[in-house]
Amino acid sequence: MQNSGAEPRSDWTRAEIAALFDLPFGDLMFLAQATHRAHHTANEVQLCTLLSIKTGGCPEDCGYCSQSAKADTALKAEKLMDVAAVLASAAEARAAGSQRFCMGAAWRNPKDRDLPALVEMIEGVRALGMESCMTLGMLTGDQARALAAAGLDYYNHNIDTSPENYGNVITTRTFQDRLDTLEEVRAAGINVCCGGIVGMGETRDDRVGFIHALATLAHHPESVPINSLIPIKGTVLGDMLADTPLARIDEIEFVRTVAAARITMPRSMVRLSAGRESMSDAGQALAFMAGANSIFTGDRLLTTANAGDSRDAALFGQLGLAPLIGDEPMRALAAAE
Phi then psi for 212, rounded to 5 degrees? -60, -45
Cα Rg of the chain, angstroms: 19
The answer to whether 98 contacts ligand SAM (rule: CB under 6 A) is no
Please report, as residue ranges, which positions from 85 to 124 form the binding site for ligand SF4 (by CB under 6 A).
106
Summarize as ranges the residues that interact with ligand DTB (CB under 6 A): 50, 66, 102, 104, 135, 156, 158, 195, 225, 227, 230, 273-274, 301-304
The question of whether 48 is a catalytic residue gets the answer no
Q: What is the per-residue DSSP string for 44-101?
A: EEEEEEEEEEE-S-BSS--TT-TTBTTS--SPPP-PPPPHHHHHHHHHHHHHTT--EE
Closer residue to ligand SF4 (CB): 45 or 106: 106
Residue 60 within binding range of ligand SF4, rule CB under 6 A: yes
Active site residue 133: yes
Annotation says 194 is catalytic: no
**In this structure, is the dihedral angle defined by the CA atoms of residues 286, 289, 292 and 293, taken in order, positive or negative?**
positive
The CA distance from 71 to 74, in Å, is 9
What's the N-to-C CA distance of the chain in angstroms? 40
**Residue closest to 57 by CA, chosen among 44, 41, 74:** 74
Is residue 297 within the footprint of ligand SF4 (CB under 6 A)? no
Q: Which of 330, 221, 292, 228 is nearest to 44 (CA)?
A: 292
Q: Quick one: 227 or 268, whose CB is closer to ligand SF4?
A: 227
Q: Which is nearer to ligand SF4, 43 or 168 (CB)?
A: 168
The yes or no reply on residue 197 touching ligand SAM (CB under 6 A) is yes
* Annotation says 271 is catalytic: yes
68 binds, among ligand SAM, ligand SF4, ligand DTB, none (CB under 5 to 8 A by kind): ligand SF4
Annotate each residue in 42-81 with x if it binds ligand SAM (CB under 6 A) or - if it does not, as one string: ----------------------xx----------------
Give me the catalytic one of 126, 173, 186, 193.
Answer: 193
Residue 288 contacts residue 255 (beta carbons within 8 Å): no
Active site residues: 58, 62, 65, 102, 133, 193, 271
